[in-house]
Amino acid sequence: MAFELATSPVQYKPADYKTEAHNDWCPGCGDFGILSSVQLTLADMQIAPHRVVIFSGIGCSSKIPHFVNTYGIHTLHGRSLPFAVGAKLANPDLTVIAAGGDGDGLGIGVGHFVSAGRRNVDFTYILFNNGVYGLTKGQASPTLRFGVKTKSLPQPNINDGVNPLLLALAAGFTFIARGYSYDVKHLRELIRLGIEHKGSAYIDVLQPCPTYNDINTKDWYGGDDRKDPQTGKALPRVYKLNQNGYDPAIGPNTDDAEIQTKLGHFIEKAMEWGERVPVGVFLKNDTVPSYDLRIAERIKNYFDAAPARRTIADAEGKPMADLAGFFEELRVT
Ligand code: SF4
Ligand code: MG
C-alpha cells in the first residue's frame, strides 16, 4: 500500500496493517490472536504504518514483522531489544515494538531484557509465552515450570521456570502486563496501554502452542477440566485483575508505604498460577523518567538533533556533512 503522511486525514483500517506474506504458523496457534491484536491496536490508535517499527528475534512468533504492514526488522536470536532501543533513541518519532518468544527473549536474550528494562526507553515489548521452543520442536523454554512434561519432552522439565513478570519488575520495566492470546479484545487494550505508556512496557502474553505444549492449552486456560458442579460449565482459569479491585498505578503522589503495599500485591498476583491465572495491568509506574528525557538532561538539543531528525542533504541533495576535516584528522603522514 502507499503510505500516507501522518498529517493526512486518512483513516487507517485493520486491513492496512496486514501483509500478503504467507503465514506458516500451525492451525490454532495462539500467535494468530496476538498478531490480530497488534493490527487492531494500531488501527485503534490510528498510528500511520510508516511511523511504526517492529523488531523481532528468532522463533515462530518472531516472524510477526513479516505479517504487519509497518517497518519490520527480523533480527538475530535474542537481539530484538537492542535494536528496539537503538531505533527509538535514533528516531524518537517512531512507535517501537519488540516481539518474540519466551525462548528468544528470556533464554539467549535475557541479558538484553534486564538491560533494556533498567533504561526505561519508550518502547513496548510483547513476549509470546508458550513454555516451549516451538520452532525447534518443543524443547522446554525458560518459562516452563519445574516437573512439567509436555508431549514434546521425553522427561519432565528438570529446570524451574523463570517468572517473567517478577523479572520485568526487577529489571525496571515501568509498565508490566499479562494478556491471553485468545482474548483479543482485552489484549488489544493492553497493547494500547503499553504503547501509550511513556517508558519501557512489557506485555507477557499467554500463548498456547497446540503442537508441542499439551499442558497449557486453550482448554486448560479455559478451565475445561474444572466444571461447575451446579451448572456443568467450565470455570476458566484466566481472570482479569481489575475485576478484584487491583490497582497497578504508581504516580508522583503515591507515598512509600503505598508503593510497598502495591509491590506486595504485584508479587502476590505475579506468582498466582494453577487454579487461577490473572491477566491485566500489573504495574504502571509513572515516576521514572524515560531514557530520552535523561539524555536530554545531558544533551540539551537531543530532541532537535536526534540522528533521524537531522538534515542530511540540502535542497539539491548535496550532503550537509563536511567530512574533509574528519578525514584530515585520520591522515597518516
Ligand atoms: Fe505456534 Fe507452536 Fe506451531 Fe510454533 S510450533 S507455530 S508456537 S503452534
Ligand atoms: Mg516459546
- How do residues 86-139 score in pLDDT, each as one tens digit? 999 999 999 999 999 999 999 999 999 999 999 999 999 999 999 999 999 999
- Mind listing the pLDDT tens digit for each residue in 205-238? 999 999 999 999 999 999 999 999 999 999 999 9
- Ligand 1: residue of 22, 23, 24, 29 to mutate (most ligand atoms within 8 A of CB) is 29
Predicted local distance difference test score (pLDDT) of residue 7: 58
**243 or 82, which is more confident?**
82
Instruction: Return the residue whose CA atom lies nearest to atom 3 of ligand 1.
Output: 26
pLDDT at residue 4 tops 70: no
State residue 167's pLDDT score.
Answer: 98
pLDDT tens digits for range 24-52: 999 999 999 999 999 999 999 999 999 99
Between 6 and 80, whose confidence is greater?
A: 80
Taking residues 311-315, what's their average pLDDT?
Answer: 90
Q: Which pLDDT belongs to residue 239?
A: 97
Contact 59, 101 (CB under 8 A): yes
Give the relative orientation of helices 80-90 and 110-119 as an angle to the nearest 10 degrees: 30
Chain centroid to CA 265: how far?
A: 23
Model confidence at 319, pLDDT cuts 50, 70, 90, reads confident
Task: Please compute the mean of the pLDDT values over residues 269-292 and round it to a whole number.
Answer: 97
pLDDT of 321: 84
Could you tell me the pLDDT band of residue 2, with boundaries at 50, 70 and 90?
A: very low
Q: What is the pLDDT of residues 136-158, one digit of tens each?
A: 999 999 999 999 999 999 999 99
Q: Which residues are CB-neighbours of 175 under 8 A, at least 6 positions away?
A: 193, 194, 197, 199, 200, 201, 202, 281, 283, 284, 285
In degrees and rounded to multiples of 5, residue 227 shows phi and psi of: -90, 145
Percent of the chain with pLDDT over 70: 98
Q: Which has the higher per-residue pLDDT, 4 or 66?
A: 66
Q: In whole angstroms, how far apart are CA 261 and each of 5, 117, 167, 258?
A: 46, 22, 19, 5
Q: Whose CA is nearest to atom 5 of ligand 1?
A: 134
Supply the residue whose CA is at minimum distance from atom 1 of ligand 1: 29
281 strand-pairing partners? 177
Checking if the pLDDT of 1 tops 50, the result is no
Report residues near ion ligand 2: CB below 5 Å: 101-103, 130, 141
pLDDT band at 251 (very low <50, low <70, confident <90, very high): very high
Residue 275 near residue 106, CB atoms below 8 Å: no
Cell of 304: 532537535
pLDDT over 80 at 6, yes or no: no
Asked whether the predicted pLDDT for residue 3 surpasses 60, the reply is: no
Q: Which residues line ligand 1 (CB under 6 A)?
A: 25-26, 29, 31, 60, 130, 134, 209-212
d(CA 206, CA 183): 10
- What CA–CA distance (Å, rounded) separates 70 from 73? 10
Percent of the chain with pLDDT over 90: 92
pLDDT at 312 over 90: no
For ligand 2, the distance from its centroid to the CA atom of residue 73, given in whole angstroms, is: 19
From ligand 1's centre to the CA of 315, what distance in Å?
Answer: 50
Closest residue CA from atom 2 of ligand 1: 209
Nearest CA to ligand 1 atom 4: 134
